[in-house]
Amino acid sequence: MDAKTLFGFAIATGLGSLVAIYPFAVLGGLAVCLTLYGISRWLRGRLEFWQALVLFAMTAYVILNYGFDNLAVGGGGFQFPVGELGMFLALALAVFQRRQVLFREALHDPPVVCLLALLLLSCIHLVIDVPRYGAYALRDSSMFFDATFLILGVMWARSPRDTQLLMRWLFYVFVLNLLYSYTFPWGEQVQARSPASGVFHSVPLFGNYQLSALFLLLGTLYCLWVAPSVVRWPRWALMVLAVAQLGGLAILQVRTMYVGITFIILILLLLRETKKLTRFASALGLAITGLVVMVSAGSLLGIKLQGRMGPVDVSFIQRQASSLLELTDPNTRFSHDVDRSEWYGEVWNSVRSSPLNLTVGGGFGQTLINFQNDEGIAVRQPHNSSLSVLARLGFVGLSIWLLFIVLVVVRYIRFLGISFPSVGISALILWLFLHLVVALLETSVQPTLEFSHGAIPFFFLQGLAIGIMRNNYAASDFQLFSLWTSRATAQS
């Protein structure tokens, strides 16, 4: 037996032993490695290295959620999150390689200026807060550092070819999120067998679904409107994917997304997007019909599918619908078992405790509410990202944050008011606008932007939208820009 055969036999034996001892962890790790290898082969020669880093990190943030947030490396008592390290490396490379574009265009864009102002105010606080509270001060300020990744989205939008590739990548990420979301009924078993990591607390890498419902709803819209212009899948297959993602919402049972569906329908009506509304309504009708059939068949067979808040049965639909009508009760309306009004009262009392807190906030490092989760870990945020901005940076910070939102919304409205001949770009901008609306709705009841898995995709995608719309307004020939999609396809 030669050395190569012996070496191969040893590797196979070792892998077999690891699979037998840690089946979920090893198979999950192999799947991740094979996926990364396949993506790297596909991206070779198509994107710059910083762009590949962004796609790797974004894929993990969307799919693994809170688990990837806590994947950390380090030693000697210091742990650093892998995702943010990769994104900051990508940002540094992008700034170095495209610094002329950065200083000539991106840094002069009003929404970018707003976020940089929030970052500057945060850094001033951190000079005082880090010596007092240590790493927790940096942890609480992560939202404002993650906001800098808006610049990556703006710079990405400079190239139609790169943006077209990003659109294809988004489609396949939504397909992966769909498959991952349907493992929720076995989430506890997945977490029990998952490797764990963490900067402050050990967290399983797999089995976290905090924002899976948000991306299921966004993935539904993407498959219906944007995907037909970027992938060669038949329309019926894209409709099946859309319906399956809406069905996944019945398992995850996040009622904020049901409110989001209502917002989407109202916005489509206001924008007179009849065709897109018809497609969405058709998918919604098919999903509800399929859910009723599945639940009825399960009741006859004695089979119940377990969801986040209980089994998906006949009474489930009635319970979910009735809770949405209780508009005066934020606890039932937004699926949480604690009184948010108490949390908001605690934050407001802290904000008005001194003129300094009211003006520029109390800074970072201290918990904003007095509450512990089931594991005895202190919950640091009041489950409302804008309220967190007020508590940390006062009315000065909140005013800048709200100005950022207003500036971006106004730009969307101006762009969507244009009769734009490029179907692909028009659908993408509408989707990004609805991403902004649904994500902000989520931030009103959850600490979405206080965690990287919520903040980084949000700011990067909104940066992409800002860049695309800015480039459109800067173009001297609208007709040339309307050929965006066809040119990008030809170049790729």
189-205 pLDDT per residue, tens: 999 989 988 888 888 99
User: Which amino acid is residue 156, in one-letter code?
Assistant: W
Q: What is the pLDDT of residue 399?
A: 97
Mean pLDDT of the chain: 82
* Residues of the chain above pLDDT 70, percent: 75
pLDDT > 90? residue 402 = yes
Q: What is the pLDDT of residue 372?
A: 75
Rounded Cα gap, residues 107 and 91, in angstroms: 14
Mean pLDDT, residues 235-263: 91
Q: Which tokens belong to 10?
A: 């040893």
pLDDT > 80? residue 168 = yes
User: Higher-confidence residue: 288 or 297?
Assistant: 288
pLDDT > 50? residue 489 = no
User: Which amino acid is residue 41, in one-letter code?
Assistant: R
> pLDDT tens digits for 387-396?
999 999 999 9
pLDDT band per the 50, 70, 90 thresholds, residue 99:
confident
> pLDDT tens digits for 312-343?
665 665 666 565 555 444 444 444 445 677 88
Cβ proximity of 231 and 168 under 8 Å: yes
> pLDDT tens digits for 19-48?
565 565 555 566 656 665 665 565 555 788
pLDDT > 60? residue 18 = no
Rounded Cα gap, residues 356 and 412, in angstroms: 35
